[in-house]
């Protein structure tokens, strides 16, 4: 027994001296913890809707669930129209086409690649504007500098649910005769200046992808107060049909299915509950990360409506003992799949890296923010105990920064992480 006791003590000492998986300890989490694990509403309500759908044998083509979903999203966004789509990327493409954008459209590089692809796919050049480092949203001054004789529009992005400077952007649009629309994929149920996101510009696009706080398995929607635009959008998402055997527009198949709308409706029924979970998680992170040198959590304006669906951390390499990439590697070893959003920026991805090789020279803030930002897990799959463990990992990594750097260097063959 004494021998076994000594062995156990030795093992315990080893674990205490190497508390991190990257230093040889077991991962803190047995199961992988994702940034965007899907939230699930009432399983019973969803299955009841799916059975209803099967009984009706109405699976697509503007069915009753789609119409109900559209009405509820329009109510949240406080817009006259919501046009549901199969996904947000197709929604962006159809909106761009419906607004007759051509030539060049100004867009931030600090966004998900689909924002830029929705333009390039239609042979429209995305001209990348820089961001305001205080908000990570597109800087109107950079937008104005990028305008040329080929510019037809501005595609702003509401990042992390926080709206970009719509007032300044739309003023620029009016002065230069440019169409303005917004990628609001993150911003359902969020407000700006007391006004719900959805009614800004010509239109705004929401995402209901599985990783969003409200999901429809897969889906998107365009919201607008423009009656004529809404009519065009409805035709264009259905091959251009404006009636039986009558095609009035160039269109594609962008329709949302009834099954996706059923999931969307079920998610919407849990919206308040999910937001409360997100907010509680955010506040837990806010408390546990407070005072850690070089680590800052993005702030949400408590005077506005927020969905709190992202936990966004910026790591300042001049202050923190580890940089963002090193910290992400530590988390991954612990089965915490922290993500580097939106690194390295659209301008550094193909085809833009080849088409616009010098774009980075005009995007210093984008380069800086993209190199420092990471997202941590939240949503219904995360609780206060998990957040406590994530904070402990971060603290332990900083306290053992020298050992961590050495371990990461060895893992990469001596060339850094």
Residue pLDDT, tens place only, 196-252: 999 999 999 999 999 999 999 999 999 999 999 999 999 999 999 999 999 999 999
Residue 12 in this model has a pLDDT that exceeds 90: no
Q: Where does residue 171 rank: exposed (0-12), middle (13-18), buried (19+ CB within 10 A)?
A: middle
| Residue ranges matching CATH 3.90.1150.10 in the chain | 271-411
Give this prediction's pTM.
0.92
User: What percentage of the chain exceeds 90 in pLDDT?
Assistant: 93
CA distance 364 to 370: 10
Is the separation of the CB atoms in 83 and 206 below 8 Å?
no
Overall average pLDDT of the 254-274 stretch = 98
CA distance 160 to 308: 8
Residue 61 in this model has a pLDDT that exceeds 70: yes
| Peptide bond just before 351 cis, omega within 30 deg | yes
Beta-carbon count within 10 A of 96 CB: 24
| Residue ranges matching CATH 3.40.640.10 in the chain | 43-269
The pLDDT, as a whole number, for residue 411 is: 87
Residue 32 in this model has a pLDDT that exceeds 80: yes
The pLDDT, as a whole number, for residue 67 is: 98
Residue 16 in this model has a pLDDT that exceeds 50: no
The pLDDT, as a whole number, for residue 1 is: 38
The pLDDT, as a whole number, for residue 218 is: 98
Residue 348 in this model has a pLDDT that exceeds 70: yes
Residue 13 in this model has a pLDDT that exceeds 70: no
Cα of first residue to Cα of last residue in the chain, in angstroms, is: 43
pLDDT tens for each residue of 69-104: 999 999 999 999 999 999 999 999 999 999 999 999
Q: Which residues contact residue 166 at a Cβ distance below 8 angstroms, ignoring those fewer than 6 apart?
A: 156, 182, 192, 200, 201
Q: What is the DSSP string of 86-150?
A: S-HHHHHHHHHHHTT--SEEEEESSS-HHHHHHHHTTT-EEEEEPB-TTTSSBPHHHHHHH--TT
CA distance 130 to 213: 27
The pLDDT, as a whole number, for residue 18 is: 52
Q: Which CATH class is domain 271-411?
A: alpha beta
Phi, psi of 247 (to 5 degrees): -105, 120
Is the separation of the CB atoms in 146 and 169 below 8 Å?
no
Mean pLDDT of the chain: 94
**Domain 43-269 grouped into CATH 3.40.640.10:** yes
């Amino acid at each position: 027994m004494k021998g076994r006791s000594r062995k156990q003590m030795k093992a315990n000492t080893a674990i205490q001296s190497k508390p991190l998986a990257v230093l040889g300890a077991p991962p803190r989490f047995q199961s992988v913890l994702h940034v965007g694990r899907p939230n699930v509403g009432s399983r019973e309500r969803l299955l009841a809707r799916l059975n209803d759908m099967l009984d009706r044998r109405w699976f697509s083509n503007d069915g009753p669930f789609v119409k109900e979903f559209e009405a509820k999203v329009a109510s949240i966004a406080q817009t006259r129209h919501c046009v549901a789509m199969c996904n947000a990327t197709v929604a962006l493409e159809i909106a761009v086409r419906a607004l007759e954008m051509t030539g060049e459209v100004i867009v931030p590089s600090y966004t998900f690649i689909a924002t830029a692809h929705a333009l390039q796919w239609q042979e429209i050049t995305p001209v990348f504007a820089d961001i305001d480092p205080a908000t990570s949203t597109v800087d109107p001054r950079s937008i104005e500098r990028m305008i040329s004789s080929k510019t037809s529009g501005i595609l702003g992005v509401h990042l992390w649910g926080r709206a970009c400077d719509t007032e300044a952007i739309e003023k620029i649009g009016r002065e230069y005769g440019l169409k303005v629309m917004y990628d609001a994929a993150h911003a359902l149920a969020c407000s700006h200046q007391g006004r719900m996101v959805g009614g800004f510009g010509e239109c705004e696009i929401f995402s209901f992808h599985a990783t969003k706080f409200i999901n429809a398995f897969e889906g998107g929607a365009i919201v607008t107060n423009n009656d004529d635009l809404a009519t065009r959008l409805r035709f264009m998402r259905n091959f251009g049909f404006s009636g039986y055997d009558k095609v009035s527009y160039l269109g594609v198949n962008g329709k949302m299915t009834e099954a996706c709308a059923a999931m969307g409706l079920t998610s919407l029924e849990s919206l308040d509950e999910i937001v409360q979970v997100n907010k509680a998680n955010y506040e837990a992170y806010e408390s546990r990360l407070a005072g850690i040198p070089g680590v800052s959590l993005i702030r949400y304006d408590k005077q506005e409506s927020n969905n709190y669906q992202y936990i966004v951390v910026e790591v300042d390499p001049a202050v923190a003992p580890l940089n963002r990439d090193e910290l992400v590697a530590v988390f991954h070893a612990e089965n915490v799949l922290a993500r580097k959003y939106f690194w390295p920026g659209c301008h550094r991805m193909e085809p833009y890296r080849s088409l616009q090789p010098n774009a980075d020279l005009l995007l210093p803030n984008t380069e800086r923010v993209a190199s420092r930002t990471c997202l941590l897990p939240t949503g219904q799959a995360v609780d206060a105990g998990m957040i406590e463990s994530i904070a402990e990992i971060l603290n332990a990594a900083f306290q053992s920064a020298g050992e961590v750097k050495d371990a990461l260097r060895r893992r990469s063959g001596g060339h850094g992480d």
